[in-house]
Structures are given as C-alpha cells and as structure tokens.
Amino acid sequence: MTTAEIIEGGLQTTVQDYPGRRGMLSKGFFPAGPMDHLAHRAANLLVGNPESAATLEITLGNFRMRFDDEATLAVCGAEAPLTIGDEDAGLWESHRVAPGAEVSIGIAPVRGFRLYLAVSGGFDVPELFGSRATYTMGALGGYEGRPLQQGDRVPVGQANGDAAGRRFGKDAIPAHTREWEVRAMRGPQSAPDFFTEADMGTLFGRDWSVDRNSNRTGIRLESHKFEWARSSGGIAGGHPSNILDNSYPVGAINVNGDLPVILGPDGPTAGGFVVAATVIHADFWKIGQFRPVGDTVRFREVSIDEAIEAERELSATLTESTLESI
Amino acid sequence: MSTTVSAIIDRRESKDGTPSITYRYAGDRGVLVEYGEMAFDLTLNFFMLGVEAALSENRPEGVVETAPGFRSILVMYDPNVLAVSDLVDHLRGVHDSLQDEHAMTIPSRVVHMPIAFDDSTSRDAVERYIRTIRKDAPNAEGGTNIDYIVRYNGFSDREELYGAVLASQQWSAFMGFFPGLPFMFPLDPRETIFVPKYNPTRTWTAEGAVGVGGPCIAIYPVESAGGYQLFGRTIPIYDIRQRNSVFRESPLFMRPGDRIQFHRVEEDELLQAFEDVRADRYRYRIEDSPFDVGAFLDWLPTIADEAEERRVRREAAAAATPVP
C-alpha cells in the first residue's frame, strides 16, 4: 500500500471525512468531520474524490509531508503559502506531485485558520463506527485517534484517474475575512420563553469576539449579561441559562451562564444549558476558519426556508461545473 | 431583513394523562421534541423512553438519528429527503400510538461504583478554573465546589451531602455530552440535590470526576470541559483501548436504564482501583435487575410528604444563596 509520510505535523493535523460519524449522538459522540466542510468538499472535488473521502485538516499551517508514489492533491481553505518540491503552488487547484517531493504549507498569516489537503484516492485509514474522522475528545478514528506527528505514515487509497491541472472557479472560492457573518436560526430555546426579544436582538445585532479557548469542540465567544425571560432555571439550576439536560445540535449557540459558545464537530452532544440559536449547515464551514483572538462574528437570523435555499446554493458550487482547466 | 419566526414549530397540550408536547427548531437539520414542562419528573423520562422505542421501530426515511434528553428527543434529519412538516406529522402519529408507561418494564442493571469525595483532581479542576477562567465565582470559594453545594441545598455539613449521594440509586436517564457519560437522577426524590451550573464553564475536568448540575449527577468519561459542580471521583466508564474486560463488548460501560449505587472509598483506594481497571485486575460489580416502572410509580406517593419537606428546605436555602 502506498503511504504519505508526515515530516512536520504542525499545530494540529487530523484525518477527517464528511459528514463524519453519524448515529452515535445518543452515546455521546458528536460527528467529528471537517470543521470547514466547504473547503474539505472542494478539495475532494478537485482531485476527483467523492466529498465523503478523508482529507487532512491542517490547523494554521506549518505542515510538511511527502508521498511514496506519484499523487494528485489539492489544498483548500485558509490563505497560506503552498510549495510542492521547489515550486510555489496555488490553493484551490489540483496538482500532480512527483514521488518523494516535499509538500509544504506555511503559516496562514492573516485570514482563515484551517486548510484541507485532499489526495486522489483519499487517505485510507480504517473506518471506526462507520467513519474515518478523528474525534479528538474520544481519542478515536483517523490515525490512531490522534493528531499526526513527524514520522507517521498515512495510507493513501487508489487514485481516481487523472484529476491534476484543475482549479475551483474564482467566483466560487469563499471569501475569508476577520469579521464574519454567519446565518443562524433561532431555537430551540429562544424568545419569548427563555430569552427576551431584546436579548435576541443583541444576539443577532452585535459583533462577538472569538476567545482564545476555542478549538474543535467549540468556539467560545465573550460573556454578556442577557436580560433573560426567566429569573431562574428553577430545579435545573438557579441561573436562567440552566435547563434540564437535553441533546444539542452541531452548530448550537449554547449559552453557558453568560457565555455563548458555538458547538463544533467534536463538541458535547448534550448538557444543561439553553441553545439560543443554531448555525445553519450552509454557513457552519465558516466557524472552522475563525482565528481565535482577533476575529469577530455577527449572526444573521434566517428562516428554515432560507437555510435550505442557502444549502442548495452552496451545494451547487460544489459540482464539476465549477471547475476550470488551468 | 427576514421576518422573525418562532422557535416553536408546534405544541400539543397535555391530555388523557400524557404530557404536553412541544416541537422546536434545532437548526435546519434538527427538531427538538420536549415532553411536559421543566420539572424533575421521572415519568417524563419514562415517557421519552417509550417514544424512543416506538420511533426506532417506525422511523421515516430522512431521519438520520435521534438523541434523547431527560424529557426530550432531538431528531436529526435530512431536509432534502424529509420536510420538517412531514417529520412533525410522523412524530405526532408515534406519540398517539404509545402505551401507558405504567405498564413498562425497562431492562436495567444495578451497577456498584466506588466514589472518593473531595478528591484532589476535583480540587485541581476548581483551582485551575479560579486561575484561568473566573476568580470570583461563588461556587468556587475556597477552591472547592462542595461547600457551595452544601449551602445551596441547606445541608448542615459535607457529610449530609455525601449521605444523600449514597442513600439513593441514581437512574441513568440518557447518555451524551462526551462518550458514554450517564445523566443520572436520584430514584428517591428525598435525596435530590440541586445546584446551578458553572458560569462560564470550566475548560478542564479529570476523567472519572463526579459532579452535579440541576438535579442531575454525572460521571465525566474523559478529560474535558464541564459545567457541573464537582464533589468526587469514581473509576473509568469509557475506554476506547478496552483495557478492562468490562469494555470488551463496548468501550462504553454505562447504559440508559442503569441504576448506579455509589460506595464511599478513600482517594488512595480509588487511585489503586483506577490502576487495577487499566491492568484488567478490577472487576466491576453489576447485577441484572429489570426496572418495574409501575411498582416505582406506586411507591412514590408513600414518601411524597417527606420529599416535599426536603424540597421546601432545599428551595429556601437556594433562595438565600448567590448564583454564579
């Protein structure tokens, strides 16, 4: 079997597939999978893989690897310098890589936080509970349940024909920013029964700073004294953010006391805090690109119909028709 | 600017002895179905278990998975396959077809677990919290959460709190948070302990830590963030490496429907047990013992007066205690 050797693993590089590990919520496993599903899916599309195929999620950059055999790869996501052998190479493009040539990703200097490296044939680590995704909180899946380190040899699957020399259409490449706008639907615990309408106006009406304690389990924002519709959580606890424990959806804007946290793909499946609103799937990819410290997010309220339409628009960009020959 | 939509999709009031049902949006791929009102009422949990069982037999195409809560079920679905209105219609049908929970017998085990109260890792978690997250939290005064739990519930001292934890079996109502965490509630309502959760949450908790939030007691299966007030530590309940034979069938030891009985040990004994679990020398004590819901519901009224007295005392103490 052909493999890829890790020369430098960087801050945190994990194997991720899409949509991750389903059917395990009731046992306490969030699905894991790429934090930016858009960049993951685009990278797979470029190298001729199904969008489910396993890629490497590289946090911030500072990553180096080489392939035993000739390979076709694409890197999508945060704006970071990519070199293959001695040549500079573009993101959002598919490239042929000679056997043994070093693939190197520098640090993303300004915008975006995660990059996705797809290889034609996908990274062929074993499936666990139906997925190859690394779930950091359970120390399982991916490559031995952990981030990649120097010297690891990651198996590579059988390549899918010749997919080198293509690029993702310029108009379809998502814009990265330091001031994000993310669409969300109110609920499950919203106004008028848990928050006041004024609280919902605050949630959707201001910029929230991204806290340094953010990772794949969640994006912590900043504390805010909401008005709250209830004076207390009663039996569930004296703070009005407290409820009798229930399950959470991925992308939940979970208010822990006074602190809103967006639950990430490795986050808690359940707990006893209200969820004021939920990030829609079409915009969930953005939270994977938030830079802890410095980035801000503003939420924009949408209805379920708008959320479904947004997903349709996003999926339409993730098709062969978006690709151009270089 | 889009029009504001309610988070509540639909609601049915309580009828014929069945609880009210509220359907809420949980994003564009989830619906949270809630039973009854926000009350610590185990019959709501039994009702939920009945729905879960019925739904697993009769699941429409497009439902990806379901995840219970104490008195709710989160239904995740694919909106490209199943419209939310059709999903809610289907759930209404399932609710209407349910039998009386009084007649239920739930597969159950009595599981005996050691607990060391006021252990060093719980104190460490609180100290880290004070140092890195919040200095002035009333629930962390003195570098422990225990005195806050004691005060909030009107116990005379720590021993009275420990006595309450040991005096009742804890009902594992559902699982979630991180792999294999049981959300447990006292089967004897006289022994209820309740407390607010952290504000904001901790970023570190030890594996095996035992804490309480609202009326719920939980065992942390892995090192993780957390929001419950910590009062002790027990042995592992999750091991993906399956180092103890108890994990051979599944890396998750606890199940919904388990009744957990804690037994007090000193911390050095607990740490030895931790090591013995890893080395496959420790044997978990488990008894199969189906749970007769009807007998339980018949027993509750016999202790209702005493439970009510304790509730009044608890709530008076809570009202006089600051909230984090």
Scanning every residue of chain A, which has its alpha carbon at the shortest distance from the alpha carbon of B183? A245
Report yes or no: A291 at the B interface, CB cutoff 8 Å: no
Query: Average pLDDT for residues A38-55, to the nearest whole number?
Result: 98
Q: Which of B79, B175, B214 sits opposite A27 (nearest CB)?
A: B175
Final residue in a domain of this structure, among A174, A198, A222 = A174
Report yes or no: A224 at the B interface, CB cutoff 8 Å: no
Q: A28 and B221: CB-CB below 8 Å?
A: yes
Provide the pLDDT for residue A306. Answer: 97
Provide the pLDDT for residue A1. Answer: 80
pLDDT, tens digit, for every residue of B117-157?
Answer: 999 999 999 999 999 999 999 999 999 999 999 999 999 99
Give how far A162 is from chain B: nearest CA, Å: 32
> Does a structural domain hold residue A303?
yes
For the sheet containing A87-89, what is the strand order? Answer: A87-89, A82-84, A102-105, A63-67, A3-8, A153-155
> Does a structural domain hold residue A324?
no
Scanning every residue of chain A, which has its alpha carbon at the shortest distance from the alpha carbon of B42? A244
Provide the pLDDT for residue A98. Answer: 96
Are residue A144 and residue A238 in the same domain, yes or no?
no
Q: Which of B26, B178, B215 sits opposite A278 (nearest CB)?
A: B26
Are residue A133 and residue A230 in the same domain, yes or no?
no
Are residue A216 and residue A306 in the same domain, yes or no?
yes
pLDDT greater than 80 at residue B99: no
pLDDT, tens digit, for every residue of B48-84?
Answer: 999 999 999 999 999 999 999 999 999 999 999 999 9
* High-pLDDT (> 90) share of chain A, %: 97
Q: Which among B293, B312, B316 has a CA at the least distance from the CA of B304? A: B312
Q: What are phi and psi of A113, to 5 degrees?
A: -135, -20
* High-pLDDT (> 70) share of chain B, %: 98
Q: Hey, which residues 109-168 in chain A have their CB within 8 Å of chain B?
A: 137-140, 145
Q: Which residues of A are less than 8 Å from B79 in CB distance?
A: 304, 308, 311
Report yes or no: A316 at the B interface, CB cutoff 8 Å: no
pLDDT band at B4 (very low <50, low <70, confident <90, very high): low
With beta carbons less than 8 A apart as the criterion, state whether A275 and A248 touch: yes
A8 DSSP β-pair partners: A64
Give how far B204 is from chain A: nearest CA, Å: 11
Q: Domains of chain B: which residue ranges?
A: 8-99, 109-319
pLDDT, chain A, mean: 96
> Does a structural domain hold residue A89?
yes
Provide the pLDDT for residue B1. Answer: 43
Are residue A87 and residue A32 in the same domain, yes or no?
yes
Q: Does domain B8-99 bear CATH number 3.30.1360.40? A: yes
Final residue in a domain of this structure, among A126, A153, A174 = A174
Are residue A201 and residue A167 in the same domain, yes or no?
no
Scanning every residue of chain A, which has its alpha carbon at the shortest distance from the alpha carbon of B137? A257
pLDDT, tens digit, for every residue of A108-141?
Answer: 999 999 999 999 999 999 999 999 999 998 899 9
Are residue A197 and residue A291 in the same domain, yes or no?
yes
* High-pLDDT (> 90) share of chain B, %: 94
pLDDT greater than 50 at residue B2: no
pTM confidence score: 0.96
A119 DSSP β-pair partners: A73
d(CA A195, CA A201): 10
pLDDT greater than 90 at residue B101: no
With beta carbons less than 8 A apart as the criterion, state whether B247 and B104 touch: no
Number of domains forming the structure of chain A: 2
Are residue A149 and residue A296 in the same domain, yes or no?
no
pLDDT band at A244 (very low <50, low <70, confident <90, very high): very high
pLDDT, tens digit, for every residue of B268-287?
Answer: 999 999 999 999 999 999 99
Final residue in a domain of this structure, among A125, A150, A174 = A174
Q: B199 and A257: CB-CB below 8 Å?
A: yes
- What residue numbers bound the domain in which A79 lies? 3-174
Are residue A49 and residue A118 in the same domain, yes or no?
yes
Q: Hey, which residues 254-313 in chain B have their CB within 8 Å of chain A?
A: none
Q: Which residues of B are less than 8 Å from A307 in CB distance?
A: 27-28
Give how far B319 is from chain A: nearest CA, Å: 9
Q: Hey, which residues 164-193 in chain B have their CB within 8 Å of chain A?
A: 174-181, 183
Are residue A293 and residue A225 in the same domain, yes or no?
yes
d(CA B183, CA A26): 12
pLDDT greater than 90 at residue B5: no
pLDDT, tens digit, for every residue of A254-284?
Answer: 999 999 999 999 999 999 999 999 999 999 9
Whether the CA torsion A11, A17, A19, A21 is positive or negative: it is: negative
d(CA B310, CA A38): 54
User: What does each C-alpha distance from B75 to A26, A247, B258 come to in angstroms?
Assistant: 11, 9, 23
> Does a structural domain hold residue A157?
yes
The CATH number linked to A269 is: 2.40.100.10
Provide the pLDDT for residue B98. Answer: 86
Q: Which among B297, B79, B115 has a CA at the least distance from the CA of A311? A: B79
> Does a structural domain hold residue A323?
no
Within 10 Å of residue B279's Cβ, how many Cβ atoms? 10
Architecture of the domain spanning B109-319: Beta Barrel (2.40)
pLDDT band at B218 (very low <50, low <70, confident <90, very high): very high
Q: Hey, which residues 130-169 in chain B have their CB within 8 Å of chain A?
A: 152
